[in-house]
Amino acid sequence: MITVDKKRKVDMWLILAVTVLVSIGTVSIFSSIMMLDFKERIIRTHILAVAIGVAAMIFMWILDYQVLEEYSEKIYVFSLFLLLLVLFIGVVDKGSRSWFRLPFFSVQPSEIARISLIIFLASYFSKNKNVLKDFYGIIKVFLMILPFFILMMKQPDFSGILITFFPLAVMFIVAGVNMSYLYMFLFYIFVVLIIPMVGVVVNLYPSYLNNPVIEFLYEISYFNINMLLFGVGLGVFLFLLWKIIHKLNPVVEYSYFILIYAIIVSGYFSGVFVKNQIKDYQYKRIESFINPGSDPKGAGYNIIQARVALGSGGVKGKGLFSGTQSRLGFVPERHTDFIFSVVGEEMGIFGVFLLFWAYAVIINRIKKIAILSRTSFGYFLSAGFAGLFMGYFFVNIGMILGFFPVAGVPLAFVSYGGTNMVASFIIIGILQSIYTRRLLIA
Amino acid sequence: MLGYDKDSEKLDKVYRVFYIVLVFFIIKIINIQIVNHSYYLELSEKNRIRTVAKLGPRGNIISSDGEVLAKNKISYSVMYFPREKMDEEYIKNLSKQISKISSTEYNAVLKSIEKIQKGLKPAKIVDGLSVKTAMYLYEVKNVFPEIEIMEENIRYYPMNNMLSHIIGYTAKMDENDWKYYSAKGYSFDALVGKTGVEKKYEEYLKGKNGGLFMEVDNRGRLVRIMGFEKWEKGNDVKLTIDYSVQKAAEEALNKLPYKRGAAVCLDSNTGKVLAYAVKPGYDLNYFSSYREDKKNENIDEFNIPISGLYPPASTFKIITTIAAVESGKIKEDTKFYCPGFYDAGNRVFKCWEKKGHKEQNLIDALANSCDVYYYNVGYIIGPYEIENVARKFRLNEKTGIDLPYEKPGKIFGPKSRMDSKGYWFVGDTLNMAIGQGETLVTPIGMAMVMMALSNGGIFYKPYYVDSIIKSDGKVLLKNEKEFAGRIELKEETYNIIKKAMRRVVTDGTGKICDIKGIDVYGKTGTAQNPHGKDHAWFVAFAEKEGKNPIAVSVLVEHGEHGSSAAAPVARDIIKAYYKTNSDKNESVNEKMIIE
């Protein structure tokens, strides 16, 4: 359904929703840090971030977004450069070298790079509308975004990589990617994940080894002779399978089986590789996700305490600045990743629904802006940003609600985080720019 | 618009997914914040509120003259909090430190710590430490932060194994206790009374716990104090036991070279138990402390005064005497000649005095404990009379004292023989008359006989709890004497038996019990024991103006002679009760008549 908005210059709903989120966020952040020693610094940085963010938003709004289209490649390359630079002169925090330390605050180039990637892809897709319809097109795009992922891997910023999947997925779908490739990719990811997951499950519930399937998968998850046997065995198996099916139905091409074989084998190798790469604490996170009780004082602690905070808020909440779980420090990372539990604890389900509503409004308005956008560049941009916000929402809140393992992803506009806040405001500014210019003649 | 309808279809699809996810989130959030709200609320409260419980101290158990028999003592223990991946050297060093300072065996400490490391749950490793030791251990804690010094109230019995059966002991609860006490709000590691007064009066003795309610942060640091509840001391239980008498009884028994024995002293006018001494008894403190290998130790928990059955021996001659006088067939001056033996026709019965007592009257005979005289008496009055009197004196009944495992005596007379379809021979009568044969009595049963003789024939139920007193002095409960029965005897009988029993003490086998200023009436006994040495008896009652008369019953296992083994104990008891120090017979080296 396409509607034409009246001649409004600014999308008020967007502004309203963002204001609501930032307010909720600010109050929750301040409440949660009350007992901390360095609370002045956080308050200062947060206010500064919001101020800079608003300024940047206004700037991006005034700026014609189509300028971004013009310079999209340069912007992307520059952001790749930043990602490379941070590997050399950046500082390490929580195990990854992801930050530039500046006089008053720190900046995360990943956030900027992600926006640049979206801008770049939006531009590319609007110029090459059917690029994703065939295999080689997909490979081409894949190669273009590969540097981004490799550099992110190097920090390593796993949560950043994770969150990037969402805008990418939405943009790919909207750009008309051949769904079968998407499904193949998902299948590949599935195979990749099987091996490490078997490892996690067996760690948690050793009795599963009695199951012959589990045992088999466990046996082949090492770089040894079993691997070779499996590879050969699978090839033989699929070959015979094809022979039989071909006899029954000659239409079936052997290329399918080659493809399946290729995917399984590559997925398998990747899976074993990933299994060896995954660090202990990440395993623990997944274990806690499956069974929070398995490590209640360690990885499960965050989740359990966050859940307690949420649940104890009830309908009305404990009141602003009165959340005991948060105030007393029982929920770790409560001003960043777990800010949602603070909202739930202090403002109850009312606060939660308000937050849900605000997010829904933002994401909804972005869809409107996408449809109303005059250019396809604007359309793809909006789609990408919609995906990004959906990603933050899904991963961060999903993690606290137990749908997702702990992922280290903030909640845009609500969590404390300078770069993230500014980046989010920039996105809103771009969106406003698209919205304002929806009726202008190019 | 711009002709992107086809693409906005795809966008729609994506958005549909988003809304479905949103719905799932809403359901889940309702589940967490509404459906399970109270559960999470409780958890969040548990996180932040710590209670430091101050246990209300248990009430004391005291004697009638104010001596404390069970009290609380503060002792310190060391708890070990295990951490994952502990260095072996570290644990060894820690064990060395602890064992050195607390004087505990190094290997025991090491083993305890290793066991805790395996289970990964904090637990006690040493306890029963003094304040000084605790102070030293605090310094150890600076180097080894895994230990924690805990202050505990433990139950302490300053008199060790005195009155073990009556006082009882406290210990941690086992499963059966837990079923009962958890409903009453006890915490799982609370001490409860297991036996005796500690158990019977657990409800009164238990103190009320108070506590400090604190709000803490996630590191357990105090944020603010939320509330305070005052603890209360439990009620004291006052026993009827007279500590000075009890002490005298215990010391007298301990002085003897014999391993087992008992002495009971009752107030004849009320039934109050003034002393209840059992040798060896068992140390009540033993159960208070934390021990791994309790099961291996041997503890003699046998309650001799009420569960021990022994032949009354010559003390039974009292019964025979009474039966004789009551029947009218024997008088005070009835004389018989004792040549040292008695010819019963098919068998010759001996007197313990081989030389024979020559001619005696009834008084002499009891004083000398002459068997032959009593053979004659028995033969003349017949066994039914004797059995009758024995029954009147309730020797085959329980006294009803509030202690478990009391056994009634067994009067083996013609009636019982008839019941078991046997025959009664003359020889049985003769044996019965001098208290041998299959008749069995308990020490407390004999004490009841003494009670009745000293107060004109009334039986009171023996009791040992006098009252329960609240910490502010208010009396919550007071026990009174309880009438249990009466025996009707001729006045003449009382006169004669008292005269005879007096003679036992002034001139006879009980000479050692002759105390200046006090009228002591007694009887010795030597119970034949086919399995070993004979048991020694001494039963008595004492009168003096100004105080209630008392009944005393002493039994010394394998003590052989009542006069030398049991009588001295009775003497010390009586002296302690009347608080005199003078003996009529000053020298202990008097020639004693051995029975």
- pLDDT tens digit string along B42-65? 777 777 766 666 667 888 999 998
Residues on chain A touching B39 (C-beta within 8 angstroms): 311
Q: Which whole number is the average pLDDT over A266-292?
A: 71
pLDDT value of residue A54 = 94
In whole angstroms, how far apart are CA A90 and each of A50, A82, A96, A106, B403? 24, 10, 9, 10, 83
With bands split at pLDDT 50, 70 and 90, how would you rate the model's confidence at A332?
low
Residues on chain B touching A394 (C-beta within 8 angstroms): 18, 21
Q: For residues B292 and B285, give the distance between their C-alpha atoms in angstroms, rounded to a whole number.
A: 15
Kindly report, residue by residue over B109-135, the tens digit of the pLDDT: 888 888 877 766 667 788 778 777 877
Residues on chain A touching B223 (C-beta within 8 angstroms): 328
pLDDT at B294 over 70: no
Q: Which of A221-225, A435-439, B274-278, B421-425 has the lowest mean pLDDT?
A: A221-225
Nearest CB among A176, A307, A372 relative to B40 is that of A307
Q: For residues A224 and A209, give the distance between their C-alpha atoms in angstroms, rounded to a whole number.
A: 19
Decide if B44 and A308 are in contact by the 8 Å CB cutoff: yes
With bands split at pLDDT 50, 70 and 90, how would you rate the model's confidence at B461?
very high
Q: Which whole number is the average pLDDT over A245-259?
A: 72
The CA distance from A317 to the nearest CA of chain B, in Å, is: 9
Q: For residues B25 and A396, give the distance between their C-alpha atoms in angstroms, rounded to a whole number.
A: 12
| Sequence-ordered list of residues with C-beta below 8 angstroms from that of A434, at least 6 positions apart, any chain | A65, A369, A373, A378, A381, A382
The CA distance from A325 to the nearest CA of chain B, in Å, is: 6
pLDDT value of residue A395 = 92
pLDDT at B212 over 70: no
Q: Which residue has the tokens 């239409």?
A: A251
Size of interface A-B (CB pairs under 8 A): 127
Q: State the pairing for strand pair B236-239/B61-62.
A: parallel
Q: For residues A15 and A53, give the distance between their C-alpha atoms in angstroms, rounded to a whole number.
A: 13
With bands split at pLDDT 50, 70 and 90, how would you rate the model's confidence at B517?
confident
Q: Which whole number is the average pLDDT over A227-241?
A: 77
The CA distance from A329 to the nearest CA of chain B, in Å, is: 5
Whole-complex ipTM: 0.84
The answer to whether residue A226 neighbours chain B at the CB level (below 8 Å) is: no
With bands split at pLDDT 50, 70 and 90, how would you rate the model's confidence at B590?
very low
Residues on chain B touching A356 (C-beta within 8 angstroms): 22, 25-26
The CB density around residue B136, as the number of other CB atoms within 10 Å, is: 15
Q: For residues B559 and B255, give the distance between their C-alpha atoms in angstroms, rounded to a whole number.
A: 12
Q: For residues B218 and A332, give the distance between their C-alpha atoms in angstroms, rounded to a whole number.
A: 9
pLDDT value of residue B429 = 86
A121 and A69 Cβ atoms separated by less than 8 Å = no
Q: Which residue of B has its CA nearest to A172?
A: B10
Q: For residues B489 and B468, give the distance between their C-alpha atoms in angstroms, rounded to a whole number.
A: 38
Decide if B15 and A367 are in contact by the 8 Å CB cutoff: yes
Residues on chain B touching A370 (C-beta within 8 angstroms): 8, 11
Q: For residues B386 and B383, give the distance between their C-alpha atoms in angstroms, rounded to a whole number.
A: 5
A249 and A165 Cβ atoms separated by less than 8 Å = no
pLDDT at B140 over 80: no
Decide if B15 and A352 are in contact by the 8 Å CB cutoff: no
Q: Which residue of B has its CA nearest to A389?
A: B18
B451 and B551 Cβ atoms separated by less than 8 Å = yes
Q: Which of A204-208, B461-465, B573-577 has the lowest mean pLDDT?
A: A204-208
pLDDT value of residue A245 = 75
In whole angstroms, how far apart are CA A97 and each of A41, A110, A335, B454, B460? 22, 11, 21, 100, 92
Question: Which long-range contacts link B506-509 to residues 24+ away (Cβ below 8 Å)?
Answer: B507/B367, B508/B366, B508/B367, B508/B368, B508/B369, B508/B593, B509/B367, B509/B368, B509/B369, B509/B562, B509/B563, B509/B567, B509/B593, B509/B595
Q: For residues A201 and A275, give the distance between their C-alpha atoms in angstroms, rounded to a whole number.
A: 13
- Residue-averaged pLDDT of chain A: 82
Q: For residues B245 and B579, give the distance between their C-alpha atoms in angstroms, rounded to a whole number.
A: 9
Half-sphere exposure of B79 (CA within 13 A, CB side): 10
Helix (H/G/I), strand (E/B), else coil: A297: coil
pLDDT value of residue B54 = 64
Rg for chain A (alpha carbons), in Å?
Answer: 24
pLDDT value of residue B556 = 92
With bands split at pLDDT 50, 70 and 90, how would you rate the model's confidence at B444?
very high
Helix (H/G/I), strand (E/B), else coil: B572: helix
Eight-state DSSP code of residue A314: T
Q: For residues A63 and A71, give the distance between their C-alpha atoms in angstroms, rounded to a whole number.
A: 13
Helix (H/G/I), strand (E/B), else coil: B278: strand
The answer to whether residue B28 neighbours chain A at the CB level (below 8 Å) is: yes
Report which of residues B513 and B50 the model is more confident about: B513
Decide if A372 and B1 are in contact by the 8 Å CB cutoff: yes
Angle of helix A109-127 relative to helix A418-436, nearest 10 degrees? 30
B556 φ/ψ angles, rounded to the nearest 5 degrees: -120, 115
The answer to whether residue B43 neighbours chain A at the CB level (below 8 Å) is: yes
Decide if B43 and A379 are in contact by the 8 Å CB cutoff: no
| Sign of the alpha-carbon torsion through A408, A413, A416, A420 | positive
Q: Which of A29-33, A113-117, A320-324, B244-248 has the lowest mean pLDDT?
A: A320-324
The answer to whether residue A361 neighbours chain B at the CB level (below 8 Å) is: no
pLDDT value of residue A285 = 72
- Which of B47, B84, B121, B224 has the highest number of chain A CBs within 10 A, making it the mutation to test binding with A? B47
Kindly report, residue by residue over A337-372, the tens digit of the pLDDT: 888 988 988 898 999 999 999 999 999 999 999 988
Does residue B280 have a cis bond before it (omega within 30 degrees)? Answer: yes
Winning range, highest mean pLDDT, from A110-124, B33-47, B169-183, B499-513: A110-124
pLDDT at A56 over 90: yes
Q: Which whole number is the average pLDDT over B53-78?
A: 83
Report which of residues B524 and B422 the model is more confident about: B524
Kindly report, residue by residue over A371-424, the tens digit of the pLDDT: 888 888 999 999 999 999 999 999 999 988 888 777 788 999 999 888 999 999
